[in-house]
Structure 1
Amino acid sequence: MDFSLEVVALVIFVIAVVFVFKTINVVPQQHAWVVERLGKYHATLAPGLNIVIPFVDRIAYKHVLKEIPLDVPPQVCITRDNTQLQVDGILYYQVTDAMRASYGASNYVQAITQLAQTTLRSVIGKMELDKTFEERDHINTTIVNAIDESAANWGVKVLRYEIKDLTPPAEILHSMQRQITAEREKRALIAASEGRRQEQINIASGEREASIARSEGERQASINRAQGEASAIVALAEASATALRQVGAAVREPGGEAAMNLRVAEHYVDAFGKLAKTNNAIIVPANLGEMSGLIASALQIVKTQK
């Protein structure tokens, strides 16, 4: 009898423990649990301690409210110019309504994945191959807007879509590489020709400036020489004028005229001697003994000048 009571007590204890565990539920942060009561949606449990009725309520769905990355499988898209392009992307989404995420779609992850692929094919099909590499931001924005409108009914918010890789066929890659190489060679040739052109311009400009500088230097040198010669002539004239004034003053003094006559006679004789030495013909006076005739002639010249 005592053994039976112990078994019953143990069973009651186990049932009580199970009842407590079924009643008390602790929901982690950034999680949402959907509770069904007798098979019908009843409530969404928020993070923290929650109490439910055992065997009447059950936790039907558990959702993570964090941002979740979803790898979209690669697919082949055809561009507007009929080029096959393999596109690989990644989608970021977040559950915003746990009830809709539970009952809005049987599998919202698969739904948004398929919608991302179909939208991507549609957007790529409207672009040419070259534009697909340039318009990545436009492609990402278009896909997010298209998916987010439909995903709102599933309790999911699509945050962003990023293209990881765009892979054209090998032949297209080789053609693009050749085109890039040709374009770079073209830019190199243009740059070299521009460099030569600028070099020639610089050389011509340098020569022109050097020629101008030389002509300016020659002009200034001519001016300086002319000014020097003019200054020399003026100085010589002033010196001659000063000498003449001094000579005239000396002549007016007592005995000055006689000294002047003697000086003129000496110069006359000296000039006559030099003239006789430098000419082939010998010039002599008619009477060599009368040197006084030379002096008299010199004096006569001086009187005439006076």
Structure 2
Amino acid sequence: MEVGVIVVVAVVVLLAFVILFRSVALIPQAEAAVIERLGRYTKTVSGQLTLLVPFVDRIRARVDLREQVVSFPPQPVITEDNLTLSIDTVVYFQVTVPQSAVYEINDYIIGVEQLATTTLRNVVGGMTLEETLTSRDSINAQLRGVLDEATGRWGLRVARVELKSIMPPPSIQESMEKQMKADREKRAMILTAEGQRESSIKTAEGNKQSQILAAEGAKQAAILAAEADRQSRILRAQGDRAAQYLNAQGEAKSIEKVFAAIKASRPTPELLAYQYLQKLPEMAAGEGNSVWVVPSDFGSALQGFARSFANQGDDGVFRYEPPQDTATTTSGDDSEVDDWFDLAPDPKVAQAVAEAEAVARTPVAPEMESRPAKPGIGAASDVPAVGGGSDSSDSAAPTA
């Protein structure tokens, strides 16, 4: 009797535990539970403790509400140029309406995979291999648009679609590798040729600049040498002119002093005849004088000369007497030639030399060959005049 009571109590406790277990359901956050009552949809709960009617209510499915990432295996796709590609696709989607994901489609993951495959073949089928390899963003956008529109009634939202890899056939891969290798070699050869061209240009530019600088230096040196030679000749000519003037002035002074002394001594014709006879041997001593003739009427000629220029005294001797109002000595006017003997340096000459030296020290710019020559350099008419007093002194050349 006691054993039967224990069994009944145990059965009741077990039934109560089962009823309690079936009447309480804990749904975690980010997960939704679709609840049916007697086989019909009742409600969708998420993130809470839910009470169920035992043996009447049941959880049809638990749906993950987080964004899911599904990678589909490679799918063979034929391009427009009849090449078969293996493309891996990755789809990012999220369940927004759990009851639609449960009742509208049997397996929404398989549905998304098949829809992505067919859409991918449709999109890539209208592209060539090169367009497919370079238009991933366009393909991803088209796939996402089609999948999001088609899976909307399934309660899904497609966030992104990415092409994980595009694998062409091995023969195409080999051809592409050869093409890439040829392109790299071509670029390397182009870069090498470009470097050699730049190096040649820089070398030629340096040689050109060096030659320009050398030519400019030679030009400046020639200008300075010509200017120095010109100044030297001008100064030498001025010195020779002053020396000749001094010689002529000295001779004139000497002759003037001699004549003044002669006039002051009042010579007689006998003294002149004596001086004349003393000069005859010197006159005959010339190399070209082989025959010398003394005129016979020399005495009468000398007497006529004395009568013309002298006065006869009480003793009958002719003597030269200078006029009383005539000065015995004369002095030349040296005011016009005072600057001939000025030893101070000419400021115009110094300025011209300084300007030439400044131009010679000026560095030549790279564009010197395209610029015109500086005014005042290299033209004979632009060289500054030197020896400012030479023209006026030349016009006042002395006459003996």
User: What range is the shorter-chain TM-score in?
Assistant: 0.7 to 0.9
Q: Compared with structure 1, are the counterparts of its residues 248 and 22 closer, same or farther at alpha carbon in structure 2 (3 Å cutoff)?
A: farther
The more displaced of 126-135 and 235-244 is 235-244
Report the equivalent of 1:172. Answer: 172
**Structure-1-length-normalised TM-score:** 0.76
Report the equivalent of 1:113. Answer: 113
2-side partners of 1:52 and 1:107: how far apart? 26
Q: Which amino acid aligns with 2:233?
A: I
Report the equivalent of 2:50. Answer: 50
Which structure features the higher share of helix residues? Answer: 1
Q: Compared with structure 1, are the counterparts of its residues 35 and 247 closer, same or farther at alpha carbon in structure 2 (3 Å cutoff)?
A: same
Per-residue deviation, 1:243: 5.8
Q: Which amino acid aligns with 1:60?
A: R
Q: Which amino acid aligns with 1:164?
A: K
2-side partners of 1:238 and 1:50: how far apart? 131
Q: Compared with structure 1, are the counterparts of its residues 68 and 240 closer, same or farther at alpha carbon in structure 2 (3 Å cutoff)?
A: same
May I ask how many residue pairs the two structures share in their alignment?
A: 264
Structure 2 unmatched runs, 5+: 259-283, 288-398
Report the equivalent of 1:86. Answer: 86
Report the equivalent of 2:221. Answer: 221
Instruction: Confirm whether residue 206 of structure 1 aligns to residue 180 of structure 2.
Output: no
Does the residue aligned with 1:59 lie in a helix, a strand or coil? strand
Per-residue CA distance 1:110-150 (angstroms, 9 max, x = gap) = 11110011111111111101111111111112111111111
2-side partners of 1:103 and 1:202: how far apart? 78
Q: Compared with structure 1, are the counterparts of its residues 249 and 23 closer, same or farther at alpha carbon in structure 2 (3 Å cutoff)?
A: farther
Per-residue deviation, 1:250: 8.1
Does the residue aligned with 2:158 lie in a helix, a strand or coil? strand
1-side partners of 2:190 and 2:214: how far apart? 36
1-side partners of 2:227 and 2:17: how far apart? 127
The more displaced of 105-114 and 159-168 is 159-168
Report the equivalent of 2:40. Answer: 40
2-side partners of 1:48 and 1:172: how far apart? 57
2-side partners of 1:146 and 1:198: how far apart? 54
Per-residue deviation, 1:50: 1.6
Does the residue aligned with 1:181 lie in a helix, a strand or coil? helix
Per-residue CA distance 1:256-306 (angstroms, 9 max, x = gap) = 968xxxxxxxxxxxxxxxxxxxxxxxxx9459xxxxxxxxxxxxxxxxx85
2-side partners of 1:18 and 1:252: how far apart? 163
Does the residue aligned with 2:151 lie in a helix, a strand or coil? helix
Does the residue aligned with 2:85 lie in a helix, a strand or coil? strand
Report the equivalent of 1:136. Answer: 136
The more displaced of 40-49 and 18-27 is 18-27
Q: Which amino acid aligns with 1:131?
A: E
Q: Which amino acid aligns with 1:184?
A: R
Per-residue deviation, 1:194: 3.1
Q: Compared with structure 1, are the counterparts of its residues 253 and 34 closer, same or farther at alpha carbon in structure 2 (3 Å cutoff)?
A: same
Report the equivalent of 2:187. Answer: 187
* Aligned-residue identity in percent: 36
Contact 1:33 1:59 in 2 (8 A): yes
Report the equivalent of 1:102. Answer: 102
Report the equivalent of 1:64. Answer: 64
2-side partners of 1:49 and 1:73: how far apart? 39
Per-residue deviation, 1:34: 0.4
1-side partners of 2:286 and 2:181: how far apart? 110
Does the residue aligned with 1:29 lie in a helix, a strand or coil? strand
**Structure-2-length-normalised TM-score:** 0.59
Per-residue CA distance 1:165-209 (angstroms, 9 max, x = gap) = 211111111111222222222223333333343344334333333
2-side partners of 1:286 and 1:114: how far apart? 142
Per-residue CA distance 1:62-108 (angstroms, 9 max, x = gap) = 01111111121212111000011111222222111111011010111
Q: Which amino acid aligns with 1:14?
A: L
The more displaced of 107-116 and 8-17 is 8-17
RMSD over aligned CA atoms reads 3.0
Counting only pairs closer than 5 Å after superposition, residues 16-27 of structure 1 correspond to structure 2 as: 16-27=16-27
Who wins on radius of gyration, i.e. which is larger?
A: 2
2-side partners of 1:135 and 1:128: how far apart? 10
Per-residue deviation, 1:151: 0.7
Contact 1:251 1:257 in 2 (8 A): no
